Amino acid sequence: MNVAGSGGRVQPARPGDPSRVGPYRIVGRLGSGGMGVVHAGLTADGVRVAVKVIHPERAEDPEFRARFRREVHLSTRVQGPCLVPLLGADTEAAQPWLATAYAPGLTLDQHLAAHGPLTGGTLYAFAAGTAQALAAVHRAGVVHRDVKPQNVILGPAGPRVLDFGIAHASDGTSVTRTGIMTGTPGWISPEHYRHGTAGAEGDMFAWGALVAHAATGRLPFGGGAPDAVAFRVMSGDPDLAGIPEPLREILEKALAKDPSERLPAVAAGEACARLLALQATQILGGDGGQGSTRVGEPVVAEWDLPALDDPAWRTPSWSARTRIAAAVLVAAAMVGGVAGATLAFPAGDDGNAPGRTNVAKSSPGGLATSTATSAAAPANAPTTAGPVDGADGAGDAPADPRSAVVPSDPLAGVAGPAFTRAGDVTEPTPDEWRASTLAATSEEKGAATAIQDRMRAVLATKDMDFMTPTVTFDKRAQTVMVTGGPISQIPEDHQEVFRRAADVAACTALAYRLKDHPTTWPYGRFVISWKNFDGDLEPQVLGFGEATDGCYSVIAGQWQGDESGIATAAIPSSDKAEIRVADAADKAVTTAWNARIAQGDGLEPFAAGDAIDLGFDPVEKAAYVWARDTDGVLLGRAQRSNFQDAVSRTLCPRLTAEYDSNRNWTYTRWSVAVYEGNSRVPELIGSGECSH
């Protein structure tokens, strides 16, 4: 598992993820693997770090914990160029962790897939930098043992060699399992295949294959079955066609079948550095390398890759989150065997056209727009904004506001709209936030009121309505700013609910106005920010998006639940009606499932009597049911389909009955998820809407 970075892309945190690990504040995920989860973290002064936290089940294995202690110990010994330094660790914690400096960039395999082979000075810089990194590893008396494309990041200042997860001391000290081959097929030396020997020479064989792969984009020993690859490694010649001759000669020595004939890392690094220096003098029209060689940082000097688009670490914008949720759900459908499509996507969506979703507007009586500058307002916002006036009529609700439909493409067919930044993914800047002011026109006041009312109604159901938002406007940027904070010691899951509520509230309000007044309403973008202290002039950006591409999690025209929704649903409700319905529905679902088990059909009871839970997400007006399946009761496709069917058939009548009798009730959507084993990551197996 790669601990240093993930292409610069921070994924949202998932239910159960920590808010802090050691001294680091966790702001999202960078990836996960068999060992654990790599979190995006920040030091107290804002330095980015990658924090690897070991899975609980792994941490309970004494042998694995011993290997992890060794990994940390070895990592402290390794310092040098093109390596990622270890910053901290706790090997004795309930869930052991280690933290490294964050290395943004694509891994070599990701870069090759997206951009093709490395060439020129960049190729020589890659070869020199990775060889120098291995030289530092070997000087420390350590063998890496897993040199491969996934363990090299192409950062903005050169390559970085990562992950000593299976490294061991070159003196033979090791706690690996007897008889288990370590390494990755295609990146394993001939002697390792034959005898299990894994020394520094084996690292250099893998380095030769790595550089050849970087230069050509081809696997030097081909692909296919592991046994076939192993045969070619032990007896075949590598594919080095097309590699510049001077570099090819170095790689041929590194890829020698006899380990005693291979170049050591120090010699390989020096040879590649000479090629790099020659490349630099040729480009500069120098004197054959005698006087024009760049000194001090040759790898950085010749590294010619564009800086990665790595904006501030934050929760992705609404549109990005929607794409992530869609990918997660599609993957769940493919991997988890989601069945019962008629349940997940019921026929009839109350007349909504494809791409639109029924939206339940907040109930009347919400918070009125404040006329005073709150602590969250930009510094230059006026102290008064006049009386609240929503007389523009945009977004007026029908007789039953729950039947309102939010336009998913409000500017479709409009010639000359006032909002001209549709599709612009450029993030709003702190200067634009500082330039924004409280609502001045009646139209702006109406929009601010709609956003605040909806947010207040949503947050109140989780007893979070103390997080009063401030809404400001920057006409030049065509952006509405929704700002929260400062609130000391606020849990991060509360802040996430604020973000989600602000996203949907702002998107909904702007979509109505773009639809009703397309040639005069200029605001189509929104940004969600959080002030960390009074006077904060560069608040934390929680998310941003626009109201021209839909406001809800929709796939193929149908609403779908997501991990953010289930995380919000897991927060206890403070709304009496929600508590009453949740309690009754939870018991009814459990009873219905037990009744099906009693009928046979190969169904088994959950290990715990309280394995089924139910909660409400007020942001997207959905009920979530999830089961903690520690014994694998729902591993099969048929079992999951059966559980989903039991949930929807039991839950929908109760949601519909409440909807018909309580005009303030807006929950008609449902989603079902499973937590397998001890996993803290839910697998969503179905979503839908109840007829009403």
Mean pLDDT of the chain: 78
CB-CB contact of 467 with 374 (8 Å): no
User: How far is Cα 545 from Cα 540, in angstroms, rounded to an integer?
Assistant: 15
pLDDT digits 0-9 by tens, 548-564: 888 877 776 788 888 88
User: How far is Cα 673 from Cα 687, in angstroms, rounded to an integer?
Assistant: 9
Domain covering 563-689 in this structure, CATH number:
3.30.70
**Residues designated as active site:** 146
Residues forming beta bridges with residue 39, ordered by sequence position: 29, 51
- Amino acid 399: pLDDT: 63
List C-alpha distances in Å: 687 to 331, 342, 555, 594.
14, 10, 11, 22
Q: Which residues contact 431 (CB under 8 A, 6 or more apart)?
A: none
Q: Is 25 helix (H, G, I), strand (E, B) or coil?
A: strand
- Amino acid 205: pLDDT: 95
**Least reliable range by pLDDT among 192-206, 387-401, 421-435, 636-650:** 387-401
| Cβ count within 10 A of residue 588 | 17
User: How far is Cα 124 from Cα 118, in angstroms, rounded to an integer?
Assistant: 9
User: Regarding predicted confidence, which is higher, 280 or 49?
Assistant: 49
- Amino acid 149: pLDDT: 92
| Percent of the chain clearing pLDDT 90 (strictly above) | 33
CB-CB contact of 509 with 395 (8 Å): yes
Question: CA-based angle 324:481:485, to the nearest 5?
Answer: 90
Domain covering 104-302 in this structure, CATH number:
1.10.510.10
- Amino acid 308: pLDDT: 57
* pLDDT classification of 145: cutoffs 50, 70, 90: confident
For the chain, the domains span 104-302, 360-551, 563-689
**Least reliable range by pLDDT among 257-261, 484-488, 509-513:** 484-488
Q: Which residues contact 115 (CB under 8 A, 6 or more apart)?
A: none
- Amino acid 313: pLDDT: 54
User: Regarding predicted confidence, which is higher, 74 or 194?
Assistant: 194
- Beta-strand pair 158-161/152-155: antiparallel
User: How far is Cα 109 from Cα 147, in angstroms, rounded to an integer?
Assistant: 12
Mean pLDDT of 565-574: 89
User: Regarding predicted confidence, which is higher, 242 or 287?
Assistant: 242
Residues forming beta bridges with residue 53, ordered by sequence position: 37, 97
- Amino acid 9: pLDDT: 66
- Beta-strand pair 470-474/479-484: antiparallel
- Amino acid 71: pLDDT: 75
User: How far is Cα 50 from Cα 65, in angstroms, rounded to an integer?
Assistant: 20
* pLDDT classification of 4: cutoffs 50, 70, 90: low
Helices (H), 236-379: 245-254, 265-284, 298-302, 318-335, 341-344
| Positive or negative: CA dihedral 537, 542, 547, 549 | positive
Cis peptide before 387 (omega within 30 of 0): no
Give the single-character DSSP code of 22.
T
The first and second tokens of residue 148, run together, are: 């491969």
Q: Is 53 helix (H, G, I), strand (E, B) or coil?
A: strand
- Amino acid 353: pLDDT: 29
- Amino acid 230: pLDDT: 86
User: How far is Cα 358 from Cα 552, in angstroms, rounded to an integer?
Assistant: 10
